[in-house]
Homo-oligomer: A and B are copies of this chain.
Amino acid sequence: MAARRTVSAKTASPEKAARLRASAKARSGPTAREARSLERRQAILDAALEEFSARGFEATRLDDVAKRAKIAKGTIYLYFRDKESLFQELIRDMLTPIIGTIQNVGAIEAPLAVLADRLVDMFVREVFETRRKDVIRLMITEGRRFPKIAEFYYREVLSHIIAAVRAILRRAAARGEVSAALADFPQILVAPGLVAIVWSGLFDRFEPLDVRAMMKTHVELLLASRKAS
């Protein structure tokens, strides 16, 4: 019976969705409706990502999102409080799965050369060649107008990435694999990734950019600096 009210207007929220997903796995009961509900929600999120990415938050019409998701306009409001909620939950939903992954990264012990390779590879395959790239782009383009989202991203994702990368760099520097200075600005390591995302959206049609090669090159250059210090 509780499941009946799982997704309801005005209250549809990440927690509810999570609960729904959980209950869907835990029980065997009337999963049909729940599954359908989850599908719908996802269809809306997919359509929203597409539209928000193409037009930006303000210029996106919920009408178009609905059309793309093949549902009626009003249906969106059964799953999200309003346009802003849709946007925020979209970003949250896309970023949340990463959070857990990052935590462990910092603990891995391996030569920096190996780790860095792995990180680059992960970024390219898990972010750049994914819709997550679009989410990051949305963070960049719309973040200023959604301080809460920026904060969420910083607290839950970015700060952890930075901490993890910093930990790795510290240990690598201690081992003499890289200059200690790099650990002061872990952002440097990720900078080309950001450039790639921005570039791909704006200038790829004029001059394509081989992201993986660029990032690899960057890492190699930084690693080469060890012998200098």
Contact = CB atoms under 8 A, between A and B. Distances in A.
Contacts of A139: 202
Interface in A193-210: 194-195, 198-199, 201-203, 206-207, 209
A214 B227 contact: no
A221 B150 contact: no
Nearest to A217: B181
A198 B194 contact: yes
Contacts of A54: 144
Interface stretch (A26-34, A38-46, A124-132, A184-192): A184-192
Contacts of A142: 56, 141
Contacts of A188: 191-192, 195, 214, 217-218, 221
| Number of copies of chain A assembled together | 4
Interface of A: 54-59, 139-145, 150-151, 153-155, 158-159, 179, 181-182, 184-185, 187-188, 190-192, 194-195, 198-199, 201-203, 206-207, 209, 213-214, 217-218, 220-229
Contact of A225 (B150, B187, B224): B224
Nearest to A179: B221
Contact of A187 (B202, B214, B222): B214
Residue of A57, A184, A225, A227 with highest tally of chain B CB at under 10 A: A225
Contacts of A201: 143-144
B222 A181 contact: no
B56 A179 contact: no
Given A140-B198, A228-B224, A154 B214 contact: no
30 contacts: A56-B56, A56-B58, A56-B144, A58-B58, A140-B202, A141-B141, A144-B202, A150-B203, A155-B206, A158-B203, A159-B207, A179-B220, A179-B221, A181-B221, A182-B217, A185-B213, A185-B214, A188-B192, A188-B218, A191-B194, A191-B195, A194-B198, A220-B225, A221-B221, A221-B222, A221-B225, A224-B224, A224-B225, A224-B229, A227-B227
